[in-house]
Structure 1
């Protein structure tokens, strides 16, 4: 059909664009999932021309394509990313990572009768559905006993903030992200290729029954994976030997927070890899040390992830600890740190680097003063809002200074945890000057001058 041939010729010319779009989305998700301590295999592809041709001719029987524009509107999986999770019990948390990293336009859960948290997409490819199949003459249609394909699909755009210089054109590419367990992805590939691309005619009822049995084994395997995850959590939580990697630290945090009634799947743990690297340099990457901070966490994990809060509690006004944590942040796998470093970029960023150092130093001096004048544990500081309330109660800061100090705290959190890329060096230097002035003002009030 001429309209399909025209679309395929156009797609062949744009194949590199779609392939690059998928690779960029894959890299961002792979880094974000790893940074959060979620084990997954992330792959990407641009749809092959041959497979696309087969799909278009099959869909044309129902769609009756009349224009290239109609095909473009119908086919939305030219660029695809597959997320295969080791542990299906981490699906909710992984979804939050996807939503935080990419701009989700639509989502769909399978089986389709499960509730979805966002707008629905159109009817998916047949590969994601298991229904009753038409029987061959003389045979009875096979009725599936299991739920079939279990996954979550997202159609996403790559945010401009995630793209580097020269990648702006990929912001318009719609990418489909398919997330399921490693076992479910394997089963869906077998099921799809046998049922919807048969080379030797339609499958028999016996073959459908065998596929259904395999689906049951996959579902049982997912239950086993969830039990394996829980067993690993228990092992890591009981041991007082150093965590082997940031994945073990993440499992420990999930287990311990769950014991405290915290549902971490509603948000994410944050950059656990940076926290682990910092703890390792401080020789503090053990369950007993980390657990001692957990009861001091604020429950606002959606805005302040667990890893960020733990790091804040551990830094405790110690400049050497701040520097160690900032070094760990620089090597984090998180997408916000995936920027290519060149001589030109280092030269351009030199004023910003100096301003960041000036701001951090001013903040540390303020924290050090707070430890000296307030009745707190010298080894660690309570959450900063607690200290601010103590300052206000002792009339060491005015209400206006209190409000400004909370703004400075938000800036400090962005600086330390990698979210201050849009703050100019001038703003950082002005903020540092204000902090130094406030520190001196508090000192004078304490001395009675």
Structure 2
């Protein structure tokens, strides 16, 4: 026996080397990381391509979302995952071929405002990609007795016809994970991940009850937000139809309803912004108007175009004409109730006084109408 062999026999194996028969998880994970780093730019492109396809399709279908983001898995994240042991055999890796078996190397996340939009997004995914697997996380959490709030995960590949295009050919055979969840589901997932509570049975009973109650409350909130959105859409559609049919009684003044009314009575004006209509609704509510029939009756005796030319010498924009008619009809009361009538806004009071004086000179009966008695609190009603 040589001296070297004798020395090894005395000292035993090197502590840095795995004992005979033990799997070297660190080397396995490091090798996977090195290989993945070479492919990282490809998966970065692939993630962006999936995001672009989804974004374009949702936009073309007029499906609104909160956000659509993409990312390739970080090499360090892959390394940590590749180092995991198999649940069945602690001396074997969970992923024998990490680059083939880890399926979220490319990831896309779609966050919606409402539950029903999750279904719309799923339909787009089913149409545009080859779906390898659909995972409902709420069902998985119930089965594994883990805390969690529902979301949908899809494992997808590009379809053959898309891979036939030159710009997509390099992504052939690659797999991406797409997560779809509402903004409330996303908030739950982020907070739950930060707290790092996973198993229900591992939690103190008081914490477990609070988690489960919160999950139920968020699910109810998601459904309520969807119901509110549906009712809002129905009310808007009904209001627009009423305006079109000249049935203004009981139609509440909202930005959509006001625009429809003014487009019909004053003529359309594409220069007006959504913000401008919203601000004008606030002004009208502050003046005491709640319903369109009240506004219509108040200004019906005045021709908006003639008033505008009398005060400015030319026909002004749609909303300016409305304010001019309101000012002439209400007179000084319009100035007193206007939100700009403040002590630090003397210029506004002077401006209104000059315009009212000009209206009188042009023969208008200023202040012939009395504003509704609701006053400044009308917006609360």
Q: Compute the TM-score of the two structures, normalised by the length of structure 2.
A: 0.49
Q: Give TM-score scaled by structure 1 length.
A: 0.42
Per chain length, whose mean CA-contact separation is higher, i.e. which structure has more relative contact order (CA < 8 Å, sep 6+)?
Answer: 1
